[in-house]
Amino acid sequence: MNEPKIIRLNDIARAGDEPLVALTRDDLMEIPQLADTPELQLPQARWLNRYDFSLDGFSDFEMPKPQTKEEEDRLVNGFLSGLQKLFDPQSNWTFAKIFRLSMDYCVRCQTCSEACHTYIGSGRQEIYRPTYRSEALRRIYQRYFTPSGKLLGSFVGADVELNAKTVWRLLELSYRCNLCRRCAQVCPVGVDNALIAREIRKLFSQEMGIAPGELLKKGTRQQLKAGSSTGMNSAAFKNLVEFIEDDILAKTGKKTKMPIDQKGADILLIHNAGEFMAWLENPAAFAILFDAAGISWTLSSEAQGYDGVNYGAWFDDIELARIALRQVSIAKELGVKKIVVGECGHAHKALCVLADRVLAGDLSLSEIPRESCFPLLWDIVKSGAVKFDPNKNDFPVTLHDSCNVVRLMGIVAPQREIVKAICKQPLREMTPHGVWNYCCGGGSGFAIMNSLNFDQWRKNVSGRMKVKQVLDAFSDVLDPGINKYVIAACSNCKGALRDAIGHYGLWDKYHITYGGLVDLMVNAMVDLPQPYIDLNKES
Amino acid sequence: MALEWFMILLGWISVALFVIGSAYKMCKVATLPLNVRWEVYPVPHEEGERRHYGGSYMEEVDWAKKPRAGSRVAEFVEMGTEILLLPRVRKHNPYGIWLLSMAMHWGLYLGVALLGLFVIENLVAFPALGILTNVLGLVACALGTMGAFGLAVKRATDRNLNLYTAPIDYFNLLLIAAIFVLGLASWAMTGSFAPHQAYIGSVLTFKPTALPLLVSLTFLLFELFMIYMPFSKLIHYFAKYFTYHSQLWDDAFKTKGSPTDKRVTEQLAYTPAWSAPHVVPGKSWLEQAETPFIESEKK
């Protein structure tokens, strides 16, 4: 492994297109079980003149570089204007208090560094240290907005130059953090560098309309327009549900109804719509289980009601509020007792935690509770309403925890109790796990960001630690003759793991596959004639 | 005599400015709007085992209808442990700053205790206190000097730290070290902390007392430090209260009609000034949320 290059804070303002670091495979953290990890693919030559790769040679932003001084000034002025608004109690009431605390009281002890999977996975490259982007932003803020910074300049650290390159690199850097908040967990002062990354994203989105296309234009905007970030409209959703019902019948011999718009049902179940596109077996498994357990539930065919995602959680409070308001209002109109969120980590956090203080009165959590699916699934197991045979799940299983579900919501035990009850072999816990887990590398939108060469960075850098953890968890059963299953009970995590398994050849080399928790539950159901999960092929 | 009076007045002024400055900074944070929930687990006030593995009330079905148990005491135990022993630094910081940091912080804590002892000694005559004062004072000054100076050296020599260290960080550490060094030097010159105690007595009684130069310098620097502290990063100990209680551990869900609900309703009436195309100018947060897609695309 190569020694990381020294990058200073002021290098963020360096002129020219040369990246601050040019990563190669030899710079990255070693994965002992993989002698040869893939080399990183550089940007295509035809992109170089048009797009900016000056942070680290990777980007998701198909946004032309500024060509004139006026365009550069517009970028810088927009940034300064947005930065000021982050501190404004009216414009940013949602986070102003905790953002200010994190900006003002970091003691630069660097305790957070070793908590970050991206920093470690990158071979400890300086620019990925949780404090690098925060400190650069802090110094710009001091220089332009505080009396001490204006008066004392570099003595108080107000010395980072602000130009179009600084602005661009900060934008890129805000998308080099998965917002997993492992760094906040270990900070002795309670400073939250992930929050600062999110606030930088918000500044760009809410002030300048700049965000990765997958998150804004094809994400929240599309969800508000068409009903789902996948582009699926209500009619297509209904067709898909019919298709799933047929598929369940063909696969299990069970005639299962997936209720839609059932007024007065107990539960409105909201899935990540990505499940309907990429992993149909997951919403199908929920239907099979709920049907067998006799639960009163419904799906919604209303726009935004059949897609639990809320990408605003990662970069934009206004979009977050718009989507959450729609989702909860739909539940209210249906007259359900509560919303249950399917296997999607960020939808969990957005609806159950973030939206709590964004919706008032009749839409409060006390009136329309929003709950995770995992306690309910554990209740189904405990109740005995459905019979499970652990012998049907007789293969090595590890559990990847979604950061949003564990660290950010404290839902840790139900998943483990379920695995204990439905699997023959003991759960192989990753190290660390639970609230101390590492992100899959796809968190905060990275799993769906595939423009330009961003996927290369995700697979090789942010997802690297998870690959190592998975291989470590299965270290004594790596023989490809043994099929192994990684539980990833979150759509984004599944997407990231799917890509990682393909990228590192984990199926070909070790027969490691992945899937949801509910899929595994259905696989163990006694009255199902054949396996629900086909472990003999790559998922 | 003028110098003695100046020192008495500075003593009171520094305390007053420290209290006013700290209160001002705390009020500035406390009066900011209520933030959205942004907790991180483990949360210490959770009940039983959950506190240890990081579980929450959301692990249960129908949690909104169930009474919540848990302990606020556990929060203060966790906070107290963090302040006194810095366990997060010990467990997670790989750059060898824990011992130095502990030394500096304990130097400061014992230094404050020493000031308390000076006050007590001026109120009640109890000979054994003199011995305690000497021991406490020497330990405080030794730890404070080693810790603050050691941290400054560490910051200057470790690449992981010095890339992020501004001159003011060295200034702060060396200022703290200088106070403790002067404390040690003034003790060495007089052989006890009796003149220091006498100075505190003169401040309390408004009776000027002649002091050795080094004792005056020690208190002069300490009092300037007290005035400076609320306006520097050194006041992070109070920020910790807010970061832990308003952010990391604030997991209370909102019920309709509660004070939190009323506050949120008020805040939803604020008008954001953001300029992006999807933000509709002049509309409140609630109106933004209710804005149909077409309208938010028009701009």
Q: How far is A120 from chain B (nearest CA, A)?
A: 13
Nearest Cα neighbor of B153 from B136, B129, B177, B135 is B177
- What percentage of residues in chain B have a pLDDT greater than 90? 87
User: Above 90 in pLDDT, residue A53?
Assistant: yes
Tokens at B78, concatenated: 């966790």
Q: Do B166 and A9 make contact, defined as CB atoms within 8 angstroms?
A: no
Over chain A, what is the mean pLDDT? Answer: 97
Tokens at A285, concatenated: 């498994």
Q: Do B40 and A185 make contact, defined as CB atoms within 8 angstroms?
A: yes
Confidence band for A448, pLDDT divided at 50, 70 and 90: very high
Residue B210's pLDDT is 92
Q: What is the DSSP letter of A525?
A: B
Q: Whose structure tokens read 């005035």?
A: B227
Residues of B in contact with A354 (CB under 8 A): 36-38
Residue A424's pLDDT is 98
Nearest Cα neighbor of B291 from A318, A478, A482, A416 is A318
Whether the CB of A385 is below 8 Å from some CB of chain B: the reply is no
Residue A292's pLDDT is 97
Residues of A in contact with B255 (CB under 8 A): 364-366
For residues B23-50, give the mean pLDDT: 95
For residues A302-317, give the mean pLDDT: 97
Confidence band for B299, pLDDT divided at 50, 70 and 90: low
Task: Measure the CA–CA gap between A502 and A519, rounded to whole angstroms.
Answer: 21
Task: Measure the CA–CA gap between A173 and B94, rounded to whole angstroms.
Answer: 24
Counting one residue from chain A and one from chain B, the pairs whose CB atoms sit within 8 A come to 295
DSSP B200-249: HHHHHHT------HHHHHHHHHHHHHHHHGGGSGGGHHHHHHHIIIIIIS
pLDDT tens for residues B198-256? 999 999 999 999 999 999 999 999 999 999 999 998 888 889 999 999 899 999 999 99
Half-sphere exposure of B258 (CA within 13 A, CB side): 17
For residues A304-312, give the mean pLDDT: 97
For residues A23-30, give the mean pLDDT: 95
Q: Return the C-alpha torsion angle B196, B201, B206, B212, nearest 10.
A: -20
Residue A404's pLDDT is 98
Residues of A in contact with B274 (CB under 8 A): 82, 85, 91, 206-207, 318
Q: What is the ipTM of this complex?
A: 0.96
SS3 string of A346-378? HHHHHHHCHHHHCCCHHHCCCCCCEEEHHHHHH
What residues pair up with A517 in beta bridges, in sequence order? Answer: none
DSSP A429-473: --SS-GGGPPP-S-GGGGGG--STTHHHHIIIIITHHHHHHHHHH
Task: Measure the CA–CA gap between A448 and A220, rounded to whole angstroms.
Answer: 13
Helix runs in A87-219, H state only = 96-104, 117-121, 130-145, 147-152, 164-174, 182-186, 193-202
Task: Measure the CA–CA gap between B172 and B228, rounded to whole angstroms.
Answer: 10
Q: Do B55 and A411 make contact, defined as CB atoms within 8 angstroms?
A: yes
Confidence band for B297, pLDDT divided at 50, 70 and 90: confident
Chain A residue with the nearest C-alpha to that of B255 = A366
pLDDT tens for residues A215-251? 999 999 999 999 999 999 999 999 999 999 999 999 9
Report the residue of B52, B85, B155, B163 to disrupt the A interface, i.e. the one with the largest count of A CBs within 10 Å: B163
Looking at chain B, how many residues does it have? 299
Residue A319's pLDDT is 98
Q: Are A7 and A21 in contact (CB under 8 A)?
A: yes
For chain B, list the domains and their CATH numbers.
Answer: 2-37+71-248 (1.20.950.20), 268-298 (no CATH)
Beta strands in chain B (DSSP E): none
Report the residue of A409, A416, A433 to disrupt the B interface, i.e. the one with the largest count of B CBs within 10 Å: A409
Q: How far is B261 from chain A (nearest CA, A)?
A: 6
Q: Are A295 and A330 in contact (CB under 8 A)?
A: no
Relative to beta strand A338-341, strand A297-298 is: unpaired
Of B29, B165, B293, the CB nearest to A108: B165
User: Above 80 in pLDDT, residue A1?
Assistant: no
Task: Measure the CA–CA gap between A479 and A477, rounded to whole angstroms.
Answer: 5
Residue B70's pLDDT is 77
Q: How far is B172 from chain A (nearest CA, A)?
A: 11
Whether the CB of A52 is below 8 Å from some CB of chain B: the reply is no
For residues A4-24, give the mean pLDDT: 95
Helix/strand/coil for B34: coil
User: Above 70 in pLDDT, residue A378?
Assistant: yes
Q: Do B55 and A413 make contact, defined as CB atoms within 8 angstroms?
A: yes
Q: Whose structure tokens read 């994400």?
A: A219
User: Above 90 in pLDDT, residue B128?
Assistant: no
Nearest Cα neighbor of A505 from A533, A535, A470 is A470
For residues A39-61, give the mean pLDDT: 96
Task: Measure the CA–CA gap between B148 and B173, rounded to whole angstroms.
Answer: 5
Lowest mean pLDDT segment, chosen from A254-258, A507-511, B83-87, B126-130: B126-130
Q: What is the DSSP letter of A412?
A: -
Nearest Cα neighbor of B244 from B68, B54, B75, B36 is B75
Tokens at B15, concatenated: 């305390």
Instruction: For residue A510, give Cα distances in angstroms to A470, A484, A536.
Output: 11, 8, 12
Q: What is the DSSP letter of A304?
A: T
Task: Measure the CA–CA gap between B101 and B148, rounded to whole angstroms.
Answer: 8
Q: Do A357 and B264 make contact, defined as CB atoms within 8 angstroms?
A: yes
Residue A538's pLDDT is 65
Q: Do B278 and A319 make contact, defined as CB atoms within 8 angstroms?
A: yes
Task: Measure the CA–CA gap between A163 and A66, rounded to whole angstroms.
Answer: 12
Report the residue of A182, A186, A318 to disrupt the B interface, i.e. the one with the largest count of B CBs within 10 Å: A318
pLDDT tens for residues B285-294? 999 999 988 8
Q: Do B32 and A89 make contact, defined as CB atoms within 8 angstroms?
A: yes
Chain B residue with the nearest C-alpha to that of A5 = B159
Task: Measure the CA–CA gap between B236 and A142, rounded to whole angstroms.
Answer: 17
Q: Please report, as a single letter, which amino acid is at residue A520.
A: L
Task: Measure the CA–CA gap between A491 and A519, rounded to whole angstroms.
Answer: 13
For residues A36-60, give the mean pLDDT: 95
For residues B160-179, give the mean pLDDT: 97
pLDDT tens for residues B54-88? 999 999 999 999 988 878 899 999 999 999 999 99
Of A216, A354, A367, the CB nearest to B37: A354
Q: Do B279 and A206 make contact, defined as CB atoms within 8 angstroms?
A: yes
For residues B124-138, give the mean pLDDT: 89
For helices B167-190 and B194-205, the axis angle rounded to 10 degrees is 100
Tokens at A348, concatenated: 């969990």
Confidence band for A539, pLDDT divided at 50, 70 and 90: low
Residue A51: which region, alpha, beta or left (left: phi > 0; alpha: psi -120 to 50)? beta
Report the residue of A5, A100, A101 to disrupt the B interface, i.e. the one with the largest count of B CBs within 10 Å: A101
Of B50, B92, B285, the CB nearest to A114: B92
φ and ψ at residue A513, rounded to 5 degrees: -130, 180
Q: Are B44 and B249 in contact (CB under 8 A)?
A: yes
Nearest Cα neighbor of A266 from B256, B61, B254 is B61
Task: Measure the CA–CA gap between A143 and A152, rounded to whole angstroms.
Answer: 9
Q: Please report, as a single letter, which amino acid is at residue B66.
A: K
Q: Which helix (H) or strand (E) holds A501?
A: helix A491-504
Q: Are B46 and B56 in contact (CB under 8 A)?
A: yes
For residues A265-274, give the mean pLDDT: 97
Whether the CB of A266 is below 8 Å from some CB of chain B: the reply is no
Residue A535's pLDDT is 87
For residues A249-278, give the mean pLDDT: 96
Relative to beta strand A512-515, strand A297-298 is: unpaired
φ and ψ at residue A121, rounded to 5 degrees: -60, -30
- What percentage of residues in chain A have a pLDDT greater than 90? 97
Task: Measure the CA–CA gap between A478 and A473, rounded to whole angstroms.
Answer: 9
User: Above 90 in pLDDT, residue B127?
Assistant: no
Looking at per-residue pLDDT, the higher value among A515 and B238 belongs to A515
Task: Measure the CA–CA gap between A362 and A68, rounded to whole angstroms.
Answer: 51
φ and ψ at residue A221, rounded to 5 degrees: -60, -45
User: Above 80 in pLDDT, residue A523?
Assistant: yes
Q: Are A116 and A129 in contact (CB under 8 A)?
A: yes
Which residues of A, range 126-185, sit inside 8 Å of B by Cβ? 126, 131, 135, 152, 154-157, 159, 181, 184-185
User: Above 90 in pLDDT, residue B31?
Assistant: yes
Chain A residue with the nearest C-alpha to that of B80 = A188
Of B160, B277, B285, the CB nearest to A209: B277
User: Above 80 in pLDDT, residue A442?
Assistant: yes
Task: Measure the CA–CA gap between B39 and B36, rounded to whole angstroms.
Answer: 9
Tokens at A14, concatenated: 């360096």
Tokens at A39, concatenated: 């080399």
Confidence band for B274, pLDDT divided at 50, 70 and 90: very high
